[in-house]
Amino acid sequence: MTPPLSYLQFHALFVAPVLAALALTATYRLGSRRAVLSGTALLTGLAVIYTIPWDGALIRRGVWWYGEGTVLARYWSIPLGEYLFFVFQTVGVGLWTARFRVDTDRPLATPLPTRLVGLAAAGAVAAVGLALLRADAGLYLGSLLAWSAPILALQWGFGWHFLAGERRTVAAATLVPTAYLCGIDSIALELGIWTLSGQYTTGYAVPLIGLPVEEAVFFFCTSLFVVQGVVLYVWLLDRWH
């Protein structure tokens, strides 16, 4: 059966209006408008470039697929709507993060042992991901964690102590978009716009909404990347100036 919405129609209904609202009501408490927007633009480009190989590989492997008639065009196996999602999520989370304040007075200088703690934490994420990859059921979650680890290593190695000091901002800026994206993703799965493979997922789901845990972890990690990236970027610019 053909799903009632295409990927692009899904964006038009659930993603674009929220993005427009964030843009029209944007406030820049985090840092200057220029700093926030330049940081968000940089992260958007990096998100697209970094996500394409991983996303395309999992699509070709059959970890998820799209309903009949839901995809207008594909590039390197990835639907146009997916590319738009990479952009929409990054921009939306960046604009949401801009509403929060951080204290950028902390010095950039960081002792090596402190940096190593952040790198070790990212290494632990990578280790869990690689362990999950030993079984087919761990392919999505394991590859996601392994893919996430290099980004976390860069961010945590540079400034995990600063992020920890701003944990309330980081948490609020991350969890709200994560919750919204989980909610609309559960709708898309229910409508059959895309479908996850039972072979390559763990079978665990988020209570109440029944969302596969892999999807929730994906939205959490990618939102966290953007939040941490924008916060660290603003901190770096403020200290340099």
One-letter amino acid at 80 equals L
User: Strands, E, within 29-159: which ranges?
Assistant: 64-66, 74-75, 78-79
CA distance 49 to 147: 13
CA distance 49 to 86: 10
CA distance 193 to 187: 9
Supply 216's token pair: 């929730």
Q: Dump pLDDT digits (tens) for 155-182.
A: 999 999 999 999 999 999 999 999 999 9
Query: For all residues of the chain together, what is the average pLDDT?
Result: 96
CA neighbor of 202 nearest in space, from 211, 193, 194, 190: 211
Report the pLDDT value the prediction gives residue 40, as an integer from 0 to 100: 98
Report the pLDDT value the prediction gives residue 239, as an integer from 0 to 100: 83
What confidence category does residue 225 fall into, taking pLDDT thresholds of 50, 70 and 90?
Answer: very high
**Is the per-residue pLDDT at 1 higher than 70?**
no
Would you list the domain boundaries of the chain?
7-105+162-240
- The Cβ of residue 40 has, within 10 Å, a number of other Cβ atoms equal to 22
Per-state percent for the chain, helix, strand, coil, to nearest 5: 70, 5, 25
Report the pLDDT value the prediction gives residue 240, as an integer from 0 to 100: 79
With a pLDDT cut of 70, the percent of the chain lying above it is 99
Q: Mean per-residue pLDDT for 218-231?
A: 98
**Is the per-residue pLDDT at 196 higher than 80?**
yes
**Is the per-residue pLDDT at 134 higher than 80?**
yes
**Is the per-residue pLDDT at 241 higher than 80?**
no
CA distance 63 to 53: 14
Report the pLDDT value the prediction gives residue 177, as an integer from 0 to 100: 98
Report the pLDDT value the prediction gives residue 55, as an integer from 0 to 100: 98
With a pLDDT cut of 90, the percent of the chain lying above it is 91
State the pTM of this model. 0.96
Q: Mean per-residue pLDDT for 219-229?
A: 98
- The Cβ of residue 116 has, within 10 Å, a number of other Cβ atoms equal to 12
Q: Dump pLDDT digits (tens) for 9-22.
A: 999 999 999 999 99
Report the pLDDT value the prediction gives residue 106, as an integer from 0 to 100: 86
User: Which residues, 6+ apart, have CB-to-CB distance to 131 below 8 Å?
Assistant: 138, 142
Q: Dump pLDDT digits (tens) for 64-122.
A: 999 999 999 999 999 999 999 999 999 999 999 999 999 998 888 889 999 999 999 99
Q: Mean per-residue pLDDT for 217-241?
A: 94
